[in-house]
Amino acid sequence: MALSTSDAPAAPVLAPSAAGVTLPAGELKPAEYMRLARALRESRNPSLRAMRVAVLSSHTLGIVEPFVSVEGAREGMAVECYFGAFGQFEQELADPSSGVHRFDPTALVIALRPEDVDPDAVVRYHATGGKRFEALADELCTRLGGCVALFRERSSAPVFIANFAEPSILPLGIFDAGTTSLTAALARANDRLRQIAAAHSGVVIWDYAGLVRSRGSAEWTDARLWSLGRIAVAATHQPALARHLARTIASATRAAAKCLVLDLDNTLWGGVIGDDGMEGIALGDDHPGSAFKAFQRRVLSLMDRGILIALASKNDLDVVERVFREHPEMLIKWEHLAAVRINWSPKSINLREIADELNIGSDALVLFDDNPVERAEVRANAPEVGVIEVPADPLGYERALADASYFDQTSLSSEDRARSDSYQQERRRREFGQRFESVDEFLRGLEMVVEIGTASPSTMGRIAQLVAKTNQFNLTTRRHSEAQIAAMARRSDGRVAYLRLTDRFGDQGLVAVAILLRRGNDAAIDTLVMSCRVMNRRVEDALMAYLVGEARAMGCRSVVGDFLPTKKNGMVREFYPRFGFTRVAEEEGVTRYALDLRTATVEWPAVIQRSGTP
């Protein structure tokens, strides 16, 4: 049986295939999970991204395999699982011939519960004043750090460590929130786990504790299942665990969407502004307007994380702008918006125009629209756009937005937080540019300054993020994990370079990355990516001049670079020829270019000043 999916980066529901196989929204009955898991194994759908997930745990987790298969498919992954014998962490990872290494995972999950290792340290927490548990927590954190180190000897795949959840029965019962409690000790232990994750490239905390808390720890474990098979998760919660794990893995191994596009009537407020007028729409602190105000607040929380906010609505522009500027209960303001399409055109056309204006792919957009007809039109005519299934009751809008995995981020950089401001700065730059008659005059007027240098721990997260999510200004679209990039940065015969840009309107942040590796007498550009929002400002000239200088310092005779065309990177097709590179080979769609350093160079652009490098 065949199974098809949308091209959206994080589609929560798979569309029916020609053979009629479908993955409906929500939790299913166990028998339906089993049937769909078999269908997925048989279909081997090439549109699903293959993912081999190895799970090492201190309790039995293999029972969730069919649930992980189905929930993984909902997130665009064809998941194959390996479950190690419980408790065999170090043994599996230290033995190169073990099952986990033969499986060669593309993601490793480690789930270790304190109560599985030393139940007395948890249940009888106060027998030693908490000292036994503190010692256990130290031991487990050390073991987990050691497991990561063992795995890193053979693999750069991402690692997901489950944090420690509260048990269903706490030592002090309803008063266990005190400072001497197990609750506080677990919080300290989980903080150590966060530090371990931060100290290793490609390590992510799987918020198992948050999942247990949200579902209710009192009913999380079924005493009978635990007694019979060391199964720590009750049957009723196993689909939720699989969904949470699949969402975590998917979100850590793909780029998050960049822009939320909102409808207006009955989405940001109750009622129809054209009919009800500004005074007649429902928006405020009382029901039903309170639901819409709460939703707006949730939308702004995404903006705080760097997600752009745009509008696409069939309405009158003057009427809409007046609501944003004058309605006293509007939390989202006109200046918060990165792009606006208020007209009577089809939503799919407006969405693609928004993507063009923001210089992002339309697959980086997500639509939130209360009208099922509009959602269907976008799914049919712009299938690459993510579409959130909006509930009929506005009280569910917040939850629908939170449950959609499109905007999941494993980390939050300063560039992310400043992204909305940067797009506002960009509007001011465009207005500024209208004063000048020539491009060079405009560029000099921007007073651009770049900081350029090699990667450090403080820049590695943003570098990995830019490599992972950049599609348009990307010469090869090679995807390297943070651990792989860190390994290349440590090489004596390589450089992982970054470029940060500021101008008279503000700090654009870290906007370009290049990876240069020596191969014989050549300096090969393995990766070169740049944010599209700084295109056509000679920033790429500055980066290339730096790379050529580094290649000379490495003693190389030439710089070589590949161009691998994709559906999105046509804008950089002539990138290398523009700098004097000549075509030297073409094979399997990849064009290789070379610059002879004995006869050619790349000059630093006069319109950009270089600051001191760190």
Q: What is the per-residue pLDDT for 276? A: 92
Amino acid at 216: G
Q: What is the per-residue pLDDT for 612? A: 62
Spatial neighbors of 301 by CB under 8 A, at least 6 apart, are none
Which residues in 324-480 belong to E strands, given as ranges?
Answer: 337-342, 365-368, 386-387, 448-454
Burial (Cβ within 10 Å: 0-12, 13-18, ≥19) of residue 567: exposed
Full set of structural domains in the chain with CATH: 30-252 (3.40.50.1110), 259-407 (3.40.50.1000), 414-610 (3.40.630.30)
Which long-range contacts (C-beta less than 8 Å, at least 24 apart) are formed by 543-548? 543/452, 543/497, 543/499, 543/512, 543/514, 544/579, 544/602, 545/602, 545/603, 545/604, 545/605, 546/452, 546/497, 546/499, 547/495, 547/497, 547/514, 547/516, 547/523, 547/602, 548/595, 548/597, 548/601, 548/602
Confidence (pTM): 0.75
Q: What is the per-residue pLDDT for 271? A: 95
Question: Which of 603, 605, 579 minimizes the C-alpha distance to 593?
Answer: 579
At 160-181, the pLDDT tens digits run: 999 999 999 999 998 998 878 9
Pair 528, 543: CB distance under 8 Å: yes
Q: At what angle do helices 238-252 and 208-215 cross, to 10 degrees?
A: 140
What residues are paired with 524 via a beta bridge? 517, 560
How many other C-beta atoms lie within 10 A of the C-beta of residue 605? 20
Enumerate residue ranges in the chain where pLDDT < 50: 1-21, 613-614
Q: What is the per-residue pLDDT for 428? A: 73
Which long-range contacts (C-beta less than 8 Å, at least 24 apart) are formed by 587-595? 589/564, 589/565, 590/476, 590/562, 590/563, 590/564, 591/562, 591/563, 592/560, 592/561, 592/562, 593/560, 593/561, 593/562, 593/563, 594/522, 594/558, 594/559, 594/560, 594/561, 595/548, 595/558, 595/559, 595/560
Share of the chain above pLDDT 70, in %: 95
Order of strands, sheet of 590-596, starting from the edge strand that comes earlier in the sequence: 582-587, 590-596, 558-563, 522-530, 506-519, 494-503, 448-454, 608-610
Residue-level length of the chain? 614
